[in-house]
């Protein structure tokens, strides 16, 4: 039997250099990304546009090239009503956890668009996708979860480039959402997103504009060679 052919050497290509306009477009998209809550329009998302956004998410980096994510598209009004009810139960509990002077502000915030957005997406992490031993996850097993978060951010930025709004819903009991979506034990919920067309975006993050919290200064967050306690 003749020996198997030697695969051709894989060599990197010359690094593409992006123009100043291309770089600025990326920075603009990052700066103008917003967490959209209740401003969604009812218009359906064009399938080709949705596919571009999902492809961008699928191009995220992942530990050991594991690609642990799945994207559960949730359009059914009845299913979204169940998710909204789970959110509402958790949100009522959350309001009581804040100091009295914050509770009125909290209850006035619109924290989700589950019913108003035409599409909900649950992004998950299949922790067993590549078996028990994964390159890069041998000593820090949570790296697959971080990889899935990268997919969330890719999706969010691509959606903003397409003119779509995205809202991240984080107030729910995980057991409630797992049961509604029928998730296997090995699959972890990473993000529950609302996505749809919008006709306006806030000029700055909504929570900053409404006085909940302001952006920290970058210079207070950068350290060199180790941790330094802030003065």
**Domains plus CATH for the chain?**
34-213 (3.40.109.10)
Per-10-residue mean pLDDT of the chain, 231 residues long, equals: 65 94 98 93 97 98 98 97 96 91 85 93 97 96 98 98 97 97 98 97 92 93 92 70
Integer angstrom CA distances of residue 34 from 7, 167, 205, 206: 46, 8, 6, 8
Would you state the pLDDT for residue 196?
98
Would you state the pLDDT for residue 38?
83
Would you state the pLDDT for residue 6?
59
Residues with Cβ within 8 Å of residue 229, at least 6 apart in sequence: none
């Amino acid at each position: 039997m003749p020996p198997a052919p030697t695969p051709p050497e894989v060599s990197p290509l010359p690094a593409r250099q992006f123009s100043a306009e291309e770089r600025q477009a990326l920075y603009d998209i990052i700066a103008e990304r917003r967490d959209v809550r209740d401003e969604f329009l009812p218009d359906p998302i064009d399938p080709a546009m949705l596919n571009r956004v999902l492809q961008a998410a699928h191009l995220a980096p992942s530990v050991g090239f594991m690609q642990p994510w799945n994207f559960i598209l949730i359009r059914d009004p009845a299913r979204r009503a169940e998710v909204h009810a789970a959110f509402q139960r958790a949100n009522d509990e959350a309001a009581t956890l804040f100091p009295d002077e914050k509770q009125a502000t909290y209850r006035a915030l619109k924290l989700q668009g589950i019913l108003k957005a035409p599409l909900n997406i649950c992004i998950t992490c299949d922790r067993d996708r590549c078996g028990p031993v994964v390159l890069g996850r041998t000593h820090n097993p949570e790296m697959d979860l971080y990889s899935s978060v990268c997919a969330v951010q890719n999706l969010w930025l691509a959606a903003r480039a397409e003119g779509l709004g995205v809202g991240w819903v984080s107030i729910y009991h995980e057991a409630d959402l797992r049961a509604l979506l029928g998730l296997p034990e090995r699959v972890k919920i990473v993000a529950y997103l609302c996505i749809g067309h919008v006709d306006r975006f806030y000029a700055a993050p909504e929570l900053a504009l409404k006085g909940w919290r302001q952006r920290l200064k970058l210079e207070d967050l950068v350290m060199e060679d180790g941790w330094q306690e802030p003065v």
